[in-house]
Amino acid sequence: MRKRISIDQLTVGMKVEKLDRSWLATPFLRHRFTITSSEQITQLRSSGVQQLDVETDDACQDPGSCALAIPVKAETFQPIAPTPEPESPAIPFTEELPAAKQTYRAAKLVIQQAMEDVRMGRALNMEAVSEVVERMADSILRSPDALTSLTRLKNFDEYTFFHSVNTSALALSVGRHLGYERTPLLQLGTGMLLHDIGKTLIPIAILNKPGRYEAHEFEIMKQHVLRGAEILSSTTGLTDMFLKPTLEHHERVDGTGYPHHRSKIDLSQFGLIAAIVDIYDAVTSDRCYHKGKTPHDTLQFLYQLGTQGHVDGTLVQRFVQVVGVYPVGSCVSLSTGETAIVKQFNHEAPIRPLVVLVTDEAGRRRSTPLDLDLATQRRRPEQTIRSILDPSVLGINPRIYLDKEAA
């Protein structure tokens, strides 16, 4: 029998059936799991869970008294042990943002030149690539959210360049979160910046086709992986680790990917990370053949891929912890009726980011957008995020409000 209880009544042994909030607001990939430790209860409490449904025996009137009688099944999901966060950012987000903007623009120019060099038969300028990846890594290490916040600033006509920079920045942030040492962090960032270099050798007509690929066209498109690996393997100074993101970003943990149909046991962690950040940036981007999804919808899509065994579910959860429950650029409705755009992730309070108020309580567009930190606000009643909105339905372009910061 299912019964609603408060978080204070939850004890070890109880089988949780449903929480009072989205899975994205908690460190658990499922709502249905058995409580096996007090740490799990602490995690739920820290996530703001107040009410939850538990499965109890029909004969038991007090869920707390019969909790230990509920068997812990082997297949129940166990949350990932939290990764110790790297040391606190050396400088605040707002102080790092100007340098992050310069670094982002520099990285975009570097990959643009790299692709032009390959297209013209010239060797890659690895000195320039290494230098800009060093700058990106330094920015991420100083303040992890400044550079990644710029990944929402995309240009339809220059997708490949922006995609390369965005995925590199996101991968660097994941690597930092996982505690990578500097050398593997730079290898991951470099590999991601160059992961689509093989697309320079794919016919433009196929690369920019505004519609679904025919079978033979898709086979040609898939060649960009091996063509890219060939380019990088012939580049002086690049070891096998640099090639992993290129070779493995289209592989899937269940073996359904390409080019080699490798399963998880044969994939590197670089490749597993590459697959997630590649999907995230691609799905959130406007392309000639589809409208980009919202960041929140894309996280849910990644979660589904994780539970279905296509991508690594553990790393999906890590990724959510990096970009936030409400990623930068998300359009949200507040409890007051106002509409806002998420501007900055709050690591201390994931469900209370910094937002830009776009409309007032009556839905009227503000002449001057207003920043509001949901974690430190002094308004009464307190504003909280009520739901995720589709900005296109409202005629709102989140990029306009983010561009003002990135200009």
Per-residue pLDDT tens over the stretch 319-365 = 999 998 888 889 999 988 999 999 988 888 888 899 999 999 988 99
Residues 44 and 154 in one domain: no
Q: How far apart are CA 342 and CA 348, in angstroms?
A: 16
Q: Is the pLDDT of residue 128 over 70?
A: yes
Nearest to 129 by CA among 231, 203, 202: 231
Q: How far apart are CA 83 and CA 318, in angstroms?
A: 8
Counting the structural domains of the chain, the total is 3
Task: Express each pLDDT in 193-233 by its tens digit.
Answer: 999 999 999 998 898 888 888 899 999 999 999 999 999 99
Categorize the per-residue pLDDT at 60 as very low, low, confident or very high, splitting at 50, 70 and 90.
very low
At 239, give phi and psi (nearest 5°).
-80, 180
pLDDT of residue 24: 52
Would you tell me how many other CB atoms lie within 10 Å of the CB of residue 99? 17
pLDDT of residue 156: 56
Q: Indicate which CATH number applies to the domain containing 214.
A: 1.10.3210.10
| Mean pLDDT score of the chain | 85
**Is residue 25 situated within a structural domain?**
yes
Entry field: residues in the chain: 407
Q: Which residues contact 30 (CB under 8 A, 6 or more apart)?
A: 23, 77, 307
Residues 143 and 32 in one domain: no
Q: 66 or 386, which is more confident?
A: 386
- Residue pair 148/169 in contact (Cβ under 8 Å)? The answer is yes
Residues 349 and 378 in one domain: yes
**Ordered alpha helix ranges (H), 4-122:** 38-46, 63-66, 93-119
- Residue pair 315/212 in contact (Cβ under 8 Å)? The answer is no
Q: How far apart are CA 194 and CA 245, in angstroms?
A: 8
**Is residue 384 situated within a structural domain?**
yes
Q: How far apart are CA 232 and CA 224, in angstroms?
A: 12
**Is residue 10 situated within a structural domain?**
yes
Residues 244 and 97 in one domain: yes
Q: Is the pLDDT of residue 32 over 80?
A: no
Mean predicted confidence (pLDDT) in 172-183: 95
Residues 284 and 353 in one domain: no
pTM > 0.85: no
Task: Express each pLDDT in 248-298 by its tens digit.
Answer: 999 999 999 999 999 999 999 999 999 999 999 999 988 766 788 888 889
Nearest to 401 by CA among 351, 339, 358: 358
Residues 158 and 214 in one domain: yes
Q: Is the pLDDT of residue 58 over 50?
A: no
* Percent over 70 (pLDDT), the chain: 86
Give the Å distances, CA to CA, from 302 to 24, 162, 281, 314, 342: 11, 21, 11, 11, 20
Mean predicted confidence (pLDDT) in 83-104: 78
Residues 116 and 178 in one domain: yes
At 158, give phi and psi (nearest 5°).
-125, 40
Residues 6 and 133 in one domain: no
**Is residue 190 situated within a structural domain?**
yes
**Is residue 77 situated within a structural domain?**
no
pLDDT of residue 1: 78
- Burial (CB < 10 A; 0-12, 13-18, 19+), residue 376, is exposed
pLDDT of residue 93: 86
Residues 342 and 358 in one domain: yes
Q: Which domain-ending residue is among 323, 342, 371?
A: 323
Q: Which domain-ending residue is among 323, 350, 367?
A: 323
Q: Which residues contact 359 (CB under 8 A, 6 or more apart)?
A: 338, 339, 365, 366
Nearest to 77 by CA among 119, 111, 46, 35: 35
* Percent over 90 (pLDDT), the chain: 52
Task: Express each pLDDT in 143-168 by its tens digit.
Answer: 989 999 898 866 655 788 999 999 99
Q: How far apart are CA 170 and CA 177, in angstroms?
A: 11
Mean predicted confidence (pLDDT) in 135-139: 97
Residues 117 and 166 in one domain: yes
**Is residue 75 situated within a structural domain?**
no
Residues 123 and 38 in one domain: no
pLDDT of residue 283: 93
Q: Is the pLDDT of residue 80 over 70?
A: no
Task: Express each pLDDT in 1-29 by its tens digit.
Answer: 788 999 989 988 888 888 887 655 565 54
**Is residue 78 situated within a structural domain?**
no
Categorize the per-residue pLDDT at 73 as very low, low, confident or very high, splitting at 50, 70 and 90.
very low
Q: Which residues contact 270 (CB under 8 A, 6 or more apart)?
A: 187, 188, 191, 241, 244, 245, 248
Domain hosting residue 388, numbered range: 331-406
**Is residue 289 situated within a structural domain?**
yes
Residues 310 and 343 in one domain: no
Q: Which domain-ending residue is among 273, 295, 323?
A: 323
pLDDT of residue 29: 46
